[in-house]
């Protein structure tokens, strides 16, 4: 069994003795979710003549599945045990009710009007008899009720056993009853022990495949490291239970794009300018505008896509083989298999964006030196020195590539961004018809009790028009401009000691011709 993201390749093997001659092999129990176009049948030791496949009018699946029968028997046995315990408890309570009835009779006997004519000796004898018998009946009632409660204590364990038995049966009953009919005609010249292998791809009902599950642990002890704890989560909806299968996982995506996109010619044209169109004409000329539009390139189809391991990183994909057989029920089980922990050295920096945040954040930079690609994962828990600080998306990482991962805020590393010279006109924003001036102060303060390497990010506007002039100045000057090739993004790198604060002054001036409007 090889699982891909969103796809499974199933391989089934069986040995069959074949005497000389021509034979038809009937292959049963292949579910209808199998993609027939991908079906491959090999019969080692025999010459394959033809393969017949049928989806409709298929003989029913053989009844009397021993696994289903055993599960049903377990359910019946648990139900019978519960019924027996309830009967026994009911019998004990019947004894208690009988004792209570005896007590009621004795009480009525003591109130009998006929005893008023009896002498003192007779009355004393009757009273002693009533007391003696009532005492015995009371003890019997208490004992019977106690016995009933003791018996009912067995019900909790039996009901748990019944729930487990029903769950096991439900997992088996999730399998599809309908199967494909596959017949293979073969011929052999002499008696052989033929080995039949059937391979096919299946997406199931859209929830078959595997995905990675990661934890990122930042350790800031003697050496700063990032540890990646890996696991995989798998599920399947193929209509059959995979029981004790040999599992292989592949990072390849056979259902994705297999070749480069098509780049179509780009035709441009010039025409005489047209007079401005009215709104009515604009609405009526939609078809014409569509005809003049550039050709649209259709996007590639996107397919949305759980011990001991061995990895094969050679070739076009990484293939992981799990060393123990696994069992996965269709549409019910979500299986998580732990993999390993990988640790690499990391560089820790505090990064502050005063325009957006009030604190700096831990950011660890590390390189994927694991020799394997790390796939994207939706929810990745991130721990800083053993404490959970964030759960975020992980976009994946190619071998040898560098990643920067955030590990939560540093509450004691506070940042502010203030617009100076606040005035009624615009909070320090001095505007004229063709000029705008902005004065900003960035302030960072370290209240953590330890020194931090800090990077402060801010921005200034940029323009692609010659008539829009932009001038800016910063004190101190930024350590880097156009960070990560993003125009106007500035960075200041500094070491901020415990208790220290720093201020950055950033002034920006924009000028443009009269009659124009700033956007």
Full-model pTM: 0.65
Same domain as 469, residue 351: yes
Is there a single domain that holds both residue 6 and residue 73?
Answer: no
**Residue 319 domain-assigned (yes or no):** no
Q: What local confidence, expressed as pLDDT, does residue 413 receive?
A: 95
pLDDT digits (tens, 9 = 90+) for 50-74: 888 776 656 555 444 666 677 778 8
Higher pLDDT, 451 or 430: 451
**Inside any domain, residue 286:** no
pLDDT tens for 239-279 read 888 888 999 999 888 877 777 777 777 765 646 766 655 54
Q: Does a structural domain hold residue 477? A: yes
In a domain, 254, yes or no: no
Same domain (yes/no): 99, 123: yes
Asked, for residue 218, whether it belongs to a domain, the answer is no
**Residue 72 sits in the same domain as residue 107:** yes
Looking at the predicted structure, is the pLDDT value of residue 490 above 80? yes
Residue 302 has pLDDT above 80, yes or no: no
Q: Which residue has the tokens 């208790």?
A: 499
pLDDT of residue 288: 37
Band of pLDDT at residue 228, cut at 50, 70 and 90: very high
CA distance readout (Å), 492 to 238, 254, 397, 441, 506? 55, 45, 27, 13, 12
Confidence band, pLDDT 50/70/90 cuts, at residue 360: very high
Number of Cβ within 10 Å of residue 268's Cβ equals 5
Instruction: Give the least confident one: 35-44, 140-149, 419-428, 486-495.
Output: 419-428
Average pLDDT on 16-40 reads: 87
Asked if the model's pLDDT at residue 478 lies above 90, the reply is: yes
Q: What average pLDDT score do residues 480-500 get?
A: 94
The residue-averaged pLDDT of 335-351 equals 92
Shared domain for 486 and 371, answered yes or no, is yes
Whether the predicted pLDDT of 498 surpasses 50: yes
Q: How far apart are CA 219 and CA 393, in angstroms?
A: 20
C-beta separation of 207 from 276 below 8 A? no
My answer on whether 89 and 140 are in the same domain is yes
Q: Does residue 220 sit within a domain?
A: no
Q: pLDDT-based confidence at 183, cuts 50/70/90?
A: confident
pLDDT at 177: 67
Residue 399: which domain range?
344-511
Q: Tell whether the model's pLDDT for residue 146 goes beyond 70.
A: yes
Are residues 41 and 131 part of one domain? no
Q: What is the pLDDT of residue 143?
A: 76
Averaged confidence pLDDT in the chain? 79
Mean predicted confidence (pLDDT) in 224-243? 89
Number of domains in the chain: 3
Q: Give me the helices (H) in 339-435, please.
A: none
pLDDT at 163: 83
Based on the fold, state whether residues 85 and 185 are members of the same structural domain: no
Do 163 and 184 lie in one domain? The reply is: no
Q: State residue 221's pLDDT score.
A: 87
For residue 422, is pLDDT > 60? no
Residues 426/432/438/439 CA torsion (nearest 10 deg): -90
**DSSP secondary structure letter of residue 216:** E
pLDDT at 119 > cutoff 90? no
Say what the pLDDT of residue 393 is. 92
Cβ contact 415:443 at 8 Å: yes
Query: Which pair of structure tokens corresponds to residue 332?
Result: 């019910």
Task: Indicate the pLDDT class of residue 420, thresholds 50, 70 and 90.
Answer: confident
Query: What is the CA 105 to chain-centroid distance, rounded?
Result: 68
Range with the poorest average pLDDT among 240-249, 348-357, 474-483: 240-249
**Shared-domain flag, residues 364 and 471:** yes
pLDDT at residue 147, rounded to an integer: 78
Cis previous bond, 476, omega within 30 = yes
Going by pLDDT thresholds of 50, 70 and 90, the confidence category of residue 303 is: very low
Residue 74 falls inside a structural domain: yes
Residue 358 has pLDDT above 60, yes or no: yes
* Residue 417 shares a structural domain with residue 366: yes
End-to-end Cα distance, the chain: 59
Q: Are residues 82 and 35 in the same domain?
A: no
- Does 302 fall in a domain? no
């Amino acid at each position: 069994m090889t699982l891909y993201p969103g796809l499974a390749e199933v391989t089934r093997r069986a040995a069959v003795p074949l005497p000389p001659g021509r034979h038809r092999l009937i292959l049963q129990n292949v579910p209808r979710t199998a993609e027939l176009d991908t079906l491959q049948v090999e019969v080692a030791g025999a010459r394959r003549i033809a393969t017949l496949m049928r989806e409709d009018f298929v003989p029913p699946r053989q009844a009397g599945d021993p696994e289903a029968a055993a599960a049903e028997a377990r359910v019946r046995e648990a139900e019978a045990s519960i019924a027996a315990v309830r009967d026994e408890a009911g019998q004990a309570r019947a004894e208690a009710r009988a004792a209570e009835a005896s007590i009621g009779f004795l009480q009525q006997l003591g109130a009998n009007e006929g005893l008023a004519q009896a002498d003192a000796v007779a009355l004393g004898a009757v009273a002693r008899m009533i007391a003696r018998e009532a005492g015995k009946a009371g003890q019997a009632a208490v004992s019977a009720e106690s016995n009933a409660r003791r018996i009912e204590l067995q019900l909790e364990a039996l009901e748990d056993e019944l729930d487990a038995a029903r769950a096991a049966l439900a997992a088996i009953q999730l399998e599809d009853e309908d199967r494909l009919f596959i017949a293979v005609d073969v011929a052999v010249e002499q008696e052989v022990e033929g080995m039949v292998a059937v391979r096919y791809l299946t997406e199931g009902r859209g929830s078959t495949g595997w995905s990675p599950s990661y934890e990122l642990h930042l350790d800031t002890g003697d050496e700063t490291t990032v540890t990646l704890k890996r696991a995989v989560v798998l599920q399947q909806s193929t209509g059959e239970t995979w029981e004790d299968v040999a599992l292989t996982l592949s990072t390849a995506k056979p259902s994705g794009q297999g070749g480069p996109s098509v780049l179509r010619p780009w035709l441009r044209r010039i025409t005489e300018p047209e007079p401005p169109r009215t709104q009515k004409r604009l609405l009526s000329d939609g078809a014409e505008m569509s005809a003049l539009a550039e050709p649209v390139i259709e996007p590639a189809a996107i397919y949305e896509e759980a011990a001991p391991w061995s990895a094969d990183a050679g070739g076009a994909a990484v293939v992981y083989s799990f060393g123990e057989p696994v069992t996965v029920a269709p549409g019910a089980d979500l299986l998580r298999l732990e993999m390993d922990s990988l640790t690499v050295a990391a560089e820790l920096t505090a990064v502050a964006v005063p325009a957006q945040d009030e604190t700096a954040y831990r950011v660890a930079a590390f390189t994927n030196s694991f020799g394997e690609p790390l796939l994207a994962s939706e929810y990745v828990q991130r721990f800083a020195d053993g404490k959970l600080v964030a759960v975020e998306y992980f976009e994946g990482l190619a071998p040898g590539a560098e990643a920067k991962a955030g590990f939560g805020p540093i509450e004691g590393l506070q940042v502010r961004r203030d617009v100076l010279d606040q005035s009624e006109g615009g909070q320090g924003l001095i505007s004229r018809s063709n000029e705008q001036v902005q004065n900003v102060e960035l302030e960072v303060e370290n209240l953590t009790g330890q020194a931090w390497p800090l990077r402060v990010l801010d921005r200034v506007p940029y323009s692609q028009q010659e008539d829009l002039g932009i001038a800016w100045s910063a004190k101190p000057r930024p350590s880097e401009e156009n960070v990560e090739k993003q125009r106007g993004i500035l960075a200041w790198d500094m070491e901020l000691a415990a208790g220290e604060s720093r201020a950055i002054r950033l002034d920006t001036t924009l000028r443009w011709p009269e009659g124009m409007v700033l956007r």
